[in-house]
Amino acid sequence: MAIATRSIADSCIAAKRAARTLASVPTAAKDAALAATARLLDERAASLLEANAADLADERAAGLTDALRDRLTLSEARIAGMVAGVHAVIALEDPVGEELEHHTMPNGIDLRKIRVPLGVVGVIYEARPNVTIDCAALTIKSGNAIVLRGSSYAQRSNAALAAIVREGLAEAGLPEDSVVLLDAGDRDGLAELATQEGVVDLLIPRGGEGLKKAIKAVATVPVMYAAAGNCHVYVHSDADLEMATRIVVNSKVQRPGVCNAAETLLLDGTIAASYGPTILAALAEEGVRLLGDERARAAAGESVAIGEATAEDWDTEYLALKLAVAVVDGVEEAIDHVNAHGTGHSEAIVTGDAEAADAFVAGVDSAAVYVNASTRFTDGFEFGMGAEIGISTQKLHARGPIAMRELTTTKYVGRGSGQVRG
């Protein structure tokens, strides 16, 4: 069984033992485990789809929104994407042992600063089974063990995927407990995982504000939140409007149920009346439900249905085909709106004015800021990291995609010849 039948404490201790071994194994052994995992994913695609179909048919998944069902669903294409992601991680340079600094101290000690694994990483995640593979691949390659706790409605899918990774580890002669999947129990289980001091070195919750609050209330281990994404696209007065339409529609529609999808459109006041009907009609044609402030509704005219936005709408991550629209007067007002209502995830400006672009980039306080590009690119795979565990909107340790280097810390190694301090 891939799901740990041990207690949470015992499962974490088993992962800690595995982490001590994994931290010092050569890159070739880790890559061999990942190569075996990729091969097994491909060979067992049919059984993975069967497990996923059972999850989708289960009564626990019956009340999920369309966006969450989309995140839960596996397909041949998504399995192929997982395989490609594992191969991408294999191709990346091993961060463990990377030398960051090197100098000789005045007393002759040779001092080096190197990357080392964190140890045991715990990840709590909702819906998306591919996260099981992304997390496992990144932690194995970076020399960490991982304790996974997924959603109850994805239990069969996650169990099948975790079993494949554990088999790949065993094929390469590495400890299977480098990857441990916990039973998706109640919130008491979350609290127990979040309080494994001295065993779990970092906990990463991926989910909404409810999960974040639950972990904040009890956690005694270090936590790095893969936070929600209330993302914005600002169409500046000097924008190429055809380009702006492509970017806005892609940011909202390409996959609305993910954290880097746009939730608010900001239109510059100088182009709102002339351009508003065009972009709002393009969004409506894609099935997007629009809500706007008074000026946005006036700009829409009679041709596009747009409801009245409430104060809550500016702070809401819809994860659906729904978009809030506001009209702002200039770059500074756009920056103020983003910083007041955004979650620090991903923001975009569409403009041909370099000065306006630079002001937006400098002023917006987010993990990723784009000029003339969709917010949908904030992704570890797209950034060349192979995969990601989530997007951190914090400022300490890591910000942006949490990939291999973000799963390491540093160690100073000094080599002397008998020096003592006087």
- Domain ranges for the chain: 8-226+392-415, 231-377
Q: What one-letter code names the amino acid at 5? A: T
Query: 8-226+392-415: which CATH architecture?
Result: 3-Layer(aba) Sandwich (3.40)
Query: What pLDDT does 63 receive?
Result: 83
Query: What pLDDT does 410 receive?
Result: 97
The answer to whether 290 touches 307, Cβ cutoff 8 Å, is yes
For 261-293, the pLDDT digits (tens) are 999 999 999 999 999 999 999 999 999 999 999
Sign of the dihedral through C-alpha 172, 174, 175, 176: negative
Query: What pLDDT does 265 receive?
Result: 98
Give yes or no on whether 8-226+392-415 and 231-377 have one common fold. Answer: no
Query: What pLDDT does 397 receive?
Result: 87
Place of tokens 């370099």: 354
Alpha-carbon distance of 94 to 13, in angstroms, equals 25
The pTM of the full predicted model, rounded to 2 decimals, is 0.87
Which tokens hold the place of 62? Answer: 């019956």
For 297-355, the pLDDT digits (tens) are 999 988 899 999 999 999 999 999 999 999 999 999 999 999 999 999 999 999 999 99
Beta sheet of 110-117, edge-to-edge order: 99-104, 110-117, 408-415
For residue 142, the tally of other CB atoms under 10 A from its CB is 27
Query: What pLDDT does 224 receive?
Result: 93
Low-confidence ranges of the chain (pLDDT < 50): none
For 387-409, the pLDDT digits (tens) are 889 899 888 889 999 999 999 99
Alpha-carbon distance of 375 to 417, in angstroms, equals 54
Query: What pLDDT does 295 receive?
Result: 97
Alpha-carbon distance of 223 to 190, in angstroms, equals 13
- The dotted CATH code for 231-377 is 3.40.309.10
